[in-house]
Amino acid sequence: MELSSGSPGRVVAIAASSGGVAALGEVLRALPADYPWPVIVLLHNSDAYPGSRLDQLLGRACALPVREAEARLPLAAGIVYLAPAGYHLLVEQDLRFALSVDQKVAYVRPSADVLFDSLADACGAAAVGVILTGSNEDGAAGLTAIRARGGLAIVQDPSEAQAPQMPEAALRLASAEVLDLAGIGVRLAALPGAPA
Amino acid sequence: MAEGDAEEREILAFVQALKRLHGYDFSQYAPASFKRRLRALRARCGADSIAGLGRRLEREPAFLRQVLSGLSVPVSEMFRDPWVFQALRRDVLPVLASYPRIHIWQAGCAHGEEVYSLAILLQEEGLYDKSQIFATDFNDVALEEAAEGIYPAASARTYAENYLQAGGRGSLSQYFHARYERIKFEESLKRNITFAGHNLGTDGVFAEVQLILCRNVLIYFNDTLQDRVLRLFRDSLVHKGFLCLGAKETLARTPVERDFECFDAQARIYRRGSA
C-alpha cells in the first residue's frame, strides 16, 4: 500500500467510548507533528459534547491537525480524522473515506467494527487498530478482522481503563498487544521508525 | 489477500447476476458499505459465501425481494436532523409559497419517512393543497412500503421529538393511528404524493420542480454516479430552485458546484443559480 506521500505507510484507527476523550487526548499527545500516517479517531456519542467541539478539544492536546472525516476525501498523512457523529465511517480500497447511515452495529453508529472491517479490507497488513476505554463491545469483531489480514492490534490494559468492557471484549476475540495509555502513545509514535 | 480477492470476484459476479436477471444495477455503489451489506445479507440468509447468494438468485426469483431489502434501503426516521426541516419550514417554504403550484421531488425516498415529514410540513404551512410531491425510488419493494406509510410504534417517540424540534405546530400523533406494534399515517397525507419508480442511475428528467430532497443517498454512490445524479438534479430544478442534501453531503468538489449557491450551509440547502 502507498499513501499519498508516495512512501509506504500504515493507517492508524483508534476507537473509544465512555472515558474516551481523556484517553484519546493522552494517546494523541504522544504523536509528533511530523507523524507520517493518517490517524482515524472514532468516539461513540461524540455529539454529546456540544459547545466544546471535539476537534478543538483534541486539537489542543495534539500536535497534529484534527479534522472531521468527509466522504470521498483521500486520507492524508499527519492528520487526525474524527468520525462524524451519527454516521458509520468506512475506508475505501482507494484510501478515501466513505460514510453510511446503515443501521447501528453493536448498538452504535459510528461503529468501530464497521471502520475496522473496512480498514482491514482496504489496507490489509498496513492497518493498525487500537481499542481504548468503553462500556460496550464494539470494535472486537473489527479488530479480529484487522488481525486476520495481518494488521496490528493494540488494546488498552483493561485494568487501567475507565470502562474496561470494550478492551476486555476485544481481548476475548482478538490477539493484541496490551498496553497502558502512555505505552500506546509511545508505541504508535515509534511505529513508523520500527522495522516492518 | 487471496481470500479478499476471491471475495471481490464473487461480489462482482453477484452484481452482474443481479443486473442480468432482474435489471437492478449496483455496480456504481460505493464499494465498502455495499460489501458490508452484502456480507450481512449472506450471514442473514445462512449462505456459505456470496457466490452462494448468487446461485440462490439464479434458481429462486422470489429471493430478489430479500436481496433488495438487504442491499438498497437504509433506515431513516421522520424529521431526521430536525434543524433541516426547521430551515425548510422557515426559509424555503415561504419562497415556494409564491408559486401557483409547488412541485417537489423526493429522490431515493426509500421507506418514505421523509416524504411524510414533508407532507406534514406543507400541510401545517397551508401549502399542501397546491403541492405535488414526487417520491421516487428504484427499489419497488421500498416504494410499496413507502406508499403504505406504516412504521414501528417503537419509533414514534423519536419521530415525535424530532417533529417538535423541527418546529411542529401540533402533535405528531394527530397524523397517525397507532395499532398493535405499528403506526400508520393518515391516508389524507398521501393525497398529493405520487410514488413512482425512478432509477437515478439510468433514468432522466421527468418533471420541473422547485425543491429536490435527496438526503443520505449520494453517500452510497461512487463519484461517477454521484456526478450523474447531481447533473440530473440541476437539470430538473427551476431557476432559483432548492436542493437539500444530507448533513454530510456537499456540492463542493463536484461538477455542478458552480451551478448552485449555498443557501444554508448547516442544513445543506443549495439554490440553483443562473449559470
Are the Cβ atoms of B32 and A84 closer than 8 angstroms? no
Three cell numbers, residue A24:
484519546
Minimal Cα distance from A123: which residue of B? B1
A17 is catalytic: yes
Minimal Cα distance from B221: which residue of A? A98
Interface of B with A (CB under 8 A): 1, 4, 30-33, 35-37, 74-76, 216, 219-220, 223, 246-250, 253
Residues of B in contact with A87 (CB under 8 A): 219, 248
Contact B133, B115 (CB under 8 A): yes
In this complex, which of A100, A117, A121 lies closest to B219 when CB atoms are compared? A100
What length does chain A have?
Answer: 196
Residues of B in contact with A93 (CB under 8 A): 31-32
Residues of A in contact with B31 (CB under 8 A): 92-93
Are the Cβ atoms of B35 and A121 closer than 8 angstroms? yes
| The CATH number of the domain covering residues in B82-272 | 3.40.50.150
Taking residues A50-65, what's their average pLDDT? 84
Are the Cβ atoms of B75 and A84 closer than 8 angstroms? no
Under the banding of pLDDT at 50, 70 and 90, the label for residue B75 is confident
Q: Could you give the angle at which helices A20-29 and A181-190 cross, rounded to 10 degrees?
A: 40
Are the Cβ atoms of B74 and A91 closer than 8 angstroms? no
Q: What is the 3-state secondary structure (H, E, C) of A41-57?
A: EEECCHHHCCCCCHHHH
Q: pLDDT digits over B46-58, tens only?
A: 999 999 999 999 9
Is the per-residue pLDDT at A50 higher than 70?
no
Mutate to test the interface with A, among B8, B165, B219, B222 (most CBs of A within 10 A): B219
* B95 or A59: which leads in pLDDT: B95
Residues of B in contact with A124 (CB under 8 A): 1, 4
Determine which one of A18, A44, A46, A113 is catalytic: A44
Share of chain B above pLDDT 70, in %: 97
ipTM attached to this prediction: 0.94
Measured between alpha carbons, how far is B137 from B199 in angstroms, rounded to an integer?
A: 7
Are the Cβ atoms of B220 and A100 closer than 8 angstroms? yes
Is the per-residue pLDDT at B1 higher than 80?
no
Share of chain A above pLDDT 70, in %: 92
Taking residues A65-69, what's their average pLDDT? 95
Domains of chain A, by residue range, sit at: 11-179
Fold classification of A11-179 (topology level): Rossmann fold (3.40.50)
Say which residue the cell 419497488 belongs to.
B140
Is the per-residue pLDDT at A49 higher than 70?
no
Under the banding of pLDDT at 50, 70 and 90, the label for residue A142 is very high
The distance of Cα B110 from the centroid of its chain, to the nearest Å, equals 5
Measured between alpha carbons, how far is A134 from B122 in angstroms, rounded to an integer?
A: 43
Measured between alpha carbons, how far is A37 from A26 in angstroms, rounded to an integer?
A: 18
Domains of chain B, by residue range, sit at: 2-71, 82-272
Lowest mean pLDDT among A192-196, B49-53, B226-230: A192-196
Under the banding of pLDDT at 50, 70 and 90, the label for residue B9 is very high
- What dihedral do alpha carbons B193, B128, B182, B158 form, nearest 10°? 120
